[in-house]
Structure 1
Amino acid sequence: MTVTADDYSLLTDLYQLTMAACYTGEGIEQKRASFELFARRLPEGFGYLIAMGLTQALEYLEKFRFSTAQIAALQATGIFANVSDRFWSLLAQGGFTGDVWAVPEGTAVFANQPLLRIEAPLWQAQLVETYLLNTLNYQTLIATKAARLRDVVGEQTTLLEFGARRAFSPQGALWASRAALAGGLDATSNVLAALQLGEKPSGTMAHALVMALSAMAGSEEQAFTAFHEYFPGASLLIDTYDTIAAAQRLSQKVNSGEMKLTGVRLDSGDLVTLSQEVRSLLPGVSIFASGDLDEWEIARLKAAGAQIDGYGLGTRLVTGAPVNGVYKLVEIDGIPVMKQSSGKATYPGRKQIFRSFVGGKVKADRLGLVTENPLDEKPLLQLVVKEGERMQPPDTLDTIRQRTAAAVASLPAETRRLDHPVSVQVDISTCLQQLVDDTIRQGAGGRGAGKQGSRGAGGE
């Protein structure tokens, strides 16, 4: 069960294909449709999100097509026995020909703000939903957690991503590594991810090596010596048996000049007390900590006076409360549409995020229609794909990392805090509110009524 770029078009939910087949049968598959991807609410305890995953989303759209074998496999299921032959011709044509508007990766966003908008023929815009949500939801979660971690520890503390063994899949592990680095972490232990990203992988050692070599060589000290023979100066994991005893023996070797030691890692126990004692024994050696850590636990360790220079982040970084992003139709054939379900209502029409700043800090955001002009504000959504063609090359990882850092630094303190954060105020523009009112009043029924609502709101 592996996936390659050739499989991307089939990596979708069945109902995307059945809806596209229905659109084709009804003769509306080529109508221009606009879908927006956004989170209705932020994960609990989050004051913002860091948008991430656009690079992989655009790579997917570039490769979007159905092969003859894939079409035959769909036909063999029997599910599509009653659909029009035009549906199969449509899939055989392949290719994404629409436009994509998106906020740059590393941008801070809030609830109900589009990270991305697809404007394309209805069948195309519908079929790409599943992959886009999978990509942007997961990477946005990891990048946001990474940005929060960096914000807690400051610029000088080392943060490493150790999550490959806990990520939900091998593909997820690669995306988690990328998003973590883009969100502000220094390095990853995932060798494939690091090499694909042009980065240098980083890591220490595991308890297995200490136990194996100790059993064969006779002592933990000899295990450390053996490892340093091949990796001089490498950080050593010192809590396999007795952390303080190990630190005392290493201190003697360092002080006598027998060993050059750059760092030690603690993976269990009372990290506050242990780090303080190890610091007194090894004052010139960096202390690294790991073991189910997250931003809240690291903040607690810092407040308690832990002497820790770097952290390894795994399980709680690459798993946890999801970013529950959704992908909703906002306009079809020039007609603004909205979902009115209780608790799940959406805003109609194609939208833009207008952000205002005071003294370099985000003051407020205004969610408006694309036809509105900025009022001493910065529009965040940018045209990144036009008629299926990219408008510019993808940003480098360093560029995204710098953008993330700048975005977090621009947020108010109450938005960045871990306890009871308050998101930046997001106002709904007068034009958008008028369009909402018109759409509700006119209902989802008449095409003509919908177009009148669009004109009334300043739309096309």
Structure 2
Amino acid sequence: MATLPNLDSYQHQDLTLSTADYSLLTDLYQLTMAACYVGEGLEQKRASFELFVRRSPENFGYLIAMGLEQALGYLAKLSFSSPQIAALQATGIFAQAGDRFWSLLETGKFTGDVWAVPEGTAVFANEPLLRIEAPLWQAQLVETYLLNTLNYQTLIATRAARLRDVAGKQATLLEFGTRRAFSPQGALWAARAALAGGLDATSNVLAALQLGQQPSGTMAHALVMALSAMSGSEAEAFTAFHRYFPGAPLLIDTYDTIAAAQKLATKVNSGEMELLGVRLDSGDLVTLSKKVRSLLPSVPILASGDLDEWEIARLKAAGAEIDGYGLGTRLVTGTPINGVYKLVEIDGIPVMKQSSGKVTYPGRKQIFRSFAGDQVKADRLGLVTETPLSETPLLQLVVKEGKRVQLPETLGEIRQRTAATVASLPEEARRLTNPMALQVQISEGLQVLTEETKKLTAKGAKLR
């Protein structure tokens, strides 16, 4: 493995991330391509890249766009410090890059435009979640970070929206995924996307406080076992916890779930104890929840333990008496959203990728959505120059010449949009088994441009 022994000042073995590091959180080829653009005199040519998903994960009938706020924060802070430039130079990789490349990095900022669908909006295959219009070197350089935040948060928000749709409006849904998320940064993004996608609260204290939310949680089996061992009983452990957190929900399946519920019922019924909830984390949740409900009829029951939207649907169908769910591993992991970021126009010239299975549509595009009442009727993917046909254009200008032109939205506003968007989708797109995504129509103008671009590309290949 290659190391840089002379760069002690920029080595950080803990691999933590700060906003000052954003510029280097990229794939090497973004920088090498930028250097090539500079060498060829192309770096300032106006370029348009679009971020979209070629196909949704299996059994996903829609995707909920998320991560825009973090993407815009990244673009606003993008810059290269002197130590970062020195670190790049010391690699030796850029030995043939001229002084103009280093000057560009030293003074460069993001100065382009950003078009994006609002967070919480449902999108489908080949529909751009975001478009960058900027000098070529800038538009190229930002690819890695944009894909990182939009892909992951879109996955979590979509899962959260599906969980809410299945569980219903009244169910309490809590995000417990921090310990299973792929990184500390991922845990924060997962918590945000889950809340924006429809969950009620997160157990991640840092995420909750940074988002202006109240963190939520219960207890772990360790507390019950530790206090039981020292005090002699599970009941004493519960009493001790309530001494500091009166009425807090209790985890009752450490030993004998039904025996614990019976003892709690005696205290609740006698007025000796106030209990705001109990949590079941293992066993036959259908049977246990019914028995616990018979003993504690007015106490909310929360279930957890590797739950997802399919398991919640099964529990509901089986008549489980569950009022809320804690979602962790299967919410913050799973099949990834394979969003891609592709060049669609350079210096006013439409371009397209024609690789087998990876063909892209050329030109800057807009999503035109039509409604029948409050229900989504159809989506049309067309060119930005086309006129809406009693349709709503989804992509909005959010950054102009590097400056934001819209105020940041609150988490509540995004959550409301998510709920309204999901409710507006056809039932066949929302179902969990064999969903049918909305068929996106390709406009006549985009079809014509696609064929013309193919012909021009083929003609250019013959001339070469």
Q: 1 CA distance for matches of 2:406 and 2:358?
A: 35
1:110 to 114, 124, 146: 124
Equivalent position of 1:60 in the other structure: 74
Distance 1:5 1:94 in 2: 16
Cα deviation, residue 83, structure 1: 1.2
* Counterpart position of 1:129: 143
Instruction: Give me the TM-score of the superposition, normalised by structure 2.
Output: 0.96
Amino acid at match of 2:432: L
What CA distance in whole angstroms lies between the structure 1 residues aligned with 2:450 and 2:164? 39
Shift, 1:392, TM fit: 1.4
Corresponding residue for residue 30 of structure 1: 44
Residue 383 of structure 1: how far off its partner (Å): 0.4
1:374 to 2:388 alignment: yes
* Residue correspondences, number: 448
Taking the aligned partners of 2:272 and 2:459, their CA distance within structure 1 comes to: 82
| Residue matched to 2:32 | 18
Q: Which residue of 2 aligns with 1:40?
A: 54
Aligned to 2:245: 231
Cα separation, 2, equivalents of 1:19 and 1:130? 13
* Consecutive aligned runs of 4 or more in structure 1 exceeding 2 Å deviation: 444-447
- Note if contact 1:362-1:424 (Cα within 8 Å) is conserved in structure 2: no
Residue 307 of structure 1: aligned partner: 321
Equivalent residue for 1:414?
A: 428
Distance 1:446 1:340 in 2: 14
Which runs of structure 2 are paired with 1:263-278 in the superposition (5 Å)?
263-278=277-292
Instruction: Give yes or no for the alignment of 1:340 onto 2:349.
Output: no
Which has the higher mean CA deviation after the structures are superposed, 435-444 or 109-118? 435-444
Query: C-alpha deviations, 1:214-262, integer Å up to 9, x for none?
Result: 0000000000010011111100000000101111111111111111111
Q: 1:210 aligns with which of 217, 224, 232?
A: 224
Is it true that 1:436 corresponds to 2:450 in the alignment? yes
Counterpart secondary structure, 1:383: strand
Of 91, 94, 99, the residue aligned with 1:77 is 91
Residue identity opposite 1:141 in structure 2? L
Match of 2:298 among 284, 303, 310: 284
Equivalence map 1:311-390=2 (5 Å) = 311-390=325-404
Counterpart contact for 1:53–1:136, Cα < 8 Å = yes
1:198 corresponding residue in structure 2: 212
Which of the numbers 103, 111, 115 marks the counterpart of 1:97?
A: 111
Q: Could you tell me which residue of structure 2 aligns to residue 8 of structure 1?
A: 22
Q: Distance in 2 between matches of 1:269 and 1:177?
A: 27
Shift of 1:359: 2.1
Structure 2 residue runs of 5 or longer lacking an equivalent are 1-14
Work out the CA distance in 2 between the residues paired with 1:289 and 1:19: 50
TM score, norm. by length of structure 1: 0.96
Distance in 2 separating the partners of 1:84 and 1:32: 22
Query: C-alpha offsets along residues 78-114 of structure 1, whole Å, 9 cap, x if unaligned?
Result: 0000112111011011210000000000000000000
- Which of 295, 298, 311 is matched with 1:297 structurally? 311
1:250 pairs with 2:264: yes
Counterpart of 1:155 in structure 2 is: 169
Aligned to 2:200: 186
Report the 3-state secondary structure (helix = DSSP H, G, I; strand = E; otherwise coil) of the residue aligned with 2:397.
strand
Partner of 1:51: 65
- Identity across aligned pairs (percent)? 81
Which of 441, 444, 463 is matched with 1:427 structurally? Answer: 441
Aligned equivalents of 1:429, 1:54: Cα separation in 2: 26
The SS at the match of 1:36 is strand
Query: What does the per-residue CA deviation read over 1:141-189, in whole Å, with 9 as the maximum and x for residues that have no partner?
Result: 0000000000001110000000000000110000000000000000000
SS of equivalent to 1:299: helix
In 2, Cα distance between the equivalents of 1:149 and 1:156?
A: 12
The answer as to whether partners of 1:337 and 1:444 remain within 8 angstroms in 2 is: no
Q: Report SS of the residue matched to 2:369.
A: strand
- Counterpart of 1:119 in structure 2 is 133
5+ residue gaps in structure 1?
450-460
**Which whole-Å deviations, capped at 9, do the CAs of 1:411-457 have from their partners, x for residues lacking one?**
0111111111111121000000001101111116759x9xxxxxxxx
**AA at the equivalent of 2:71:** A
Q: Deviations over 1:354-397 (max 9, x none)?
A: 00001211111000000000000000000000000000111010
Conservation of the 8 A alpha-carbon contact between 1:292 and 1:313: yes
- How many angstroms apart in 2 are the aligned matches of 1:62 and 1:276? 53
Equivalent position of 1:456 in the other structure: none
Q: 3-state DSSP class of the match of 2:399?
A: strand
* CA deviation map 1:261-284 (0-9, x unaligned): 111000000000000000001111
Residue identity matched to 2:444: T
